[in-house]
Structure 1
């Protein structure tokens, strides 16, 4: 049995989407970020960086396996199940490259833009301009990829799509005013959002945790 520690954020929803796609039994332990539950001693023992998501897989051979960081969790679940990530070859490393692109570039830049442009009471024009420009550049990278391919890593749906989808969807709502011109000019991203968002497992995963 897998226990998923998560909250209602794009990073958390990556993993619930994957678990729903796999159709495996799992339990959900909400980590209330608003109450700073991520800093509790019990959760720090699972996720030393005090971030969600994390999993504990008690069904692994031998001792339970504990993993934090969404990219590592997606790779583990894909390798364990043999789904949504090729076992070898170019397709595998394409998916891993785009997965790491999301975790190292797209997510952090959209997160910083959200902080400076939306959440922060004190607005910094320089910071908003810097992160808006970088977010637009990254969305152009994604648009170009999706103009050439059905999915983020190529012609097959993969963990790269699961990693990118919650963040891009959040940008269309949370960052709508900041990125409206950028998003409106990217038809391939809009097509991909509809295509991935129509998957029943994605819809179920996006509703977890049920608050």
Structure 2
């Protein structure tokens, strides 16, 4: 059975969403990043970068596969199953276009915006302004994309939607609202309502201890 090491984080939730949408069985292993469990030696043996998620596939192409980085995991699962990503052509290119936009643009901007607003040891007004502005700008870019498409890469739901959804699910952390981006708001509501997405959110949310 597939194993996923995760917590209730924007990047972690992407993998269970993909697995639920694909109908694959998996075991969800908690890594409580709030308590620093991602720095434990046994976890670092799986991912030296000390981050979730991590996927373990005992039936990988060359045997047991340990894979890190949410975008890489999404691509692997799509290619393993032949689902959630076109096999060729413009549709496939659009999926990669959005995955790379997320990995290099929207995701980092959201993460840095949230960090400097919430966790910086001392207030950093320049950094807060820089990254909060960039986070909102990337959502505006996505809004323009979704003005012409039902989903972020075209007419079909793909792993690119899953990638973007992870951080939009935790947008409050970055101080981002969807009031001025109606196309993103429409898309978000449709994705959030998918049964597989709901199941994944429920499972990762259950990883958070109830007394926290």
TM range, normalised to the smaller chain? over 0.9
C-alpha change, 1:36 and 1:153, in structure 2 (3 Å) is same
Offset of 1:23 from its aligned partner?
A: 1.0
Write out the 4+ residue segments of structure 1 that deviate beyond 4 Å after TM superposition: none
What are the residue-to-residue correspondences of 1:1-211 with 2, within 5 Å? Answer: 1-120=1-120, 122-171=122-171, 173-175=172-174, 178-180=175-177, 183-209=178-204, 210-211=206-207
Offset of 1:59 from its aligned partner?
A: 2.4
The CA distance in 1 between the partners of 2:61 and 2:126, in whole Å, is: 51
Which segments of 5 or more consecutive residues in structure 1 lack a partner in the other structure?
none
Structure with higher helix content:
1
Total equivalences in the alignment: 206
The two structures, once aligned, show a CA RMSD in angstroms of 1.4
The CA distance in 1 between the partners of 2:61 and 2:109, in whole Å, is: 38
2:176 counterpart SS class: helix
The CA distance in 1 between the partners of 2:52 and 2:113, in whole Å, is: 20
The CA distance in 2 between the partners of 1:126 and 1:72, in whole Å, is: 32
1:208 counterpart SS class: helix
The CA distance in 2 between the partners of 1:2 and 1:69, in whole Å, is: 16
Q: Deviations over 1:167-210 (max 9, x none)?
A: 11211x334xx434xx3111001100111011000011112332
TM-score, structure 1 length as denominator? Answer: 0.93
The CA distance in 1 between the partners of 2:143 and 2:31, in whole Å, is: 33
The CA distance in 2 between the partners of 1:22 and 1:139, in whole Å, is: 27
Offset of 1:119 from its aligned partner?
A: 3.1
1:195 counterpart SS class: helix
C-alpha change, 1:3 and 1:179, in structure 2 (3 Å) is closer
Q: Deviations over 1:137-183 (max 9, x none)?
A: 11111000000100111111100000101211211x334xx434xx3
TM-score, structure 2 length as denominator? Answer: 0.92
The CA distance in 1 between the partners of 2:7 and 2:26, in whole Å, is: 15
Offset of 1:103 from its aligned partner?
A: 1.5
1:139 counterpart SS class: helix
